[in-house]
Structure 1
């Protein structure tokens, strides 16, 4: 398979929407929030609609009214300079209120999210007398020379069952973790949740192709994977139909009808697997199992 750049940050934003799904109606999510000029932007800004609301997920226990979240992918480091940079972003955000002191300093928090614990940064904390507490698995509060309440979230240390979505943002997922992710996706019923899950799934599958290949060799898990992909295709089918209605284009209406048929879904599955750079032999095996096709019928779709 060809190497394909993984879009970690959109996956992170989607994962946080799912992590806070229980309280999402009381929150505002601003992804890639610009701080005055384009080069200065935070990965995710989470604003409480009501300051008094309590967030169920323990990641949100530190949250105030305005919450800066910075995500570090497996390709990114997290050292003391990155730590201060996140704090500086929070300071800029506080200073850009509509009027003087419109955003109170004690109403801003900073969260840095990374899969692996940054040992060098924690060593710096010890050497420079920062106070670090660990109230929950994978969550570290940092006190001392910080302007705002700050936490570091180490996703690998979080409870795996409770934090499926953040745990999926990894290049080191094992078969059990991928199965848990697929089962969690399969239980979703809301359209928005399914769309967020699609973003997380795209990252996880792209980063863990060896695990997916192993699952594709398991008849039961291959079937589950195909069913999840089919549900995503149905979402796209509805989007195509709506686009066809809105724009009134013949091509859009034709595409909507086509995707409503079995042939359209098979073709959509083939396209989806190709997006993940699967080879024809693997795709043929998958669609033969999912759609009960003969080898000759499957080859016609390739």
Structure 2
């Protein structure tokens, strides 16, 4: 094996992050991977903006959609769709923390990490930060906070494509005042379809230049440090294999940190799937 990693658990964790990337990026080299892992770590609304590579245009598009007036409906949905690893959650965080959004919704804002736990009780409980109440109590408490008031709700990492479940939730959320918005992130266009006829923003991979910038920033503090190592061309070849997906670039760059040129050469010429054989 070309890497000396601390434990097999570390490799397993990395594989879980990378497995679904291979489904949409065959050139990435992952052809025999586990089924996508649906359990995800809880997300929160905090983001360190200086660590984000070029999502300003995407952010502006989403902010515009959220602040745009909809004369036909009190509440409206916007769904960010894209394959695993593109940075949907990060983009939602950037939007959530935008000063224009905070001003528009007057801090009546909620962040809910959904994953596979899509249900009225789970979502309302996370909105309140209280999961130890029955559904009636949760509905009453949330109603007191949103009824006839403008609010923003982020539903991050949504999996359900069941329109019946969505309709039940929407019937409750329409209690909000005019201009209320729900921002959803999902890997599936079918999820957006189940919500209804609302705007979808399909997130794309990074540009070639931004992919390289992200890779370089993780590995080297200064441009001169990279030039001195003689790894520029090898690194660019490796970045191309990452398919412009931020998560894959971050993981691969982290693995290469402090490795010698021989390891980089081996990595460049090795089928990436072989890294995880036998894990």
**If the TM-score is normalised by the length of the shorter chain, which range does it land in?**
0.3 to 0.5
TM-score (norm 1): 0.35
Between Structure 1 and Structure 2, the one with more strand by share is 1
Higher relative contact order (CA 8 A, sep 6+): 2
**Rg bigger for which structure?**
1
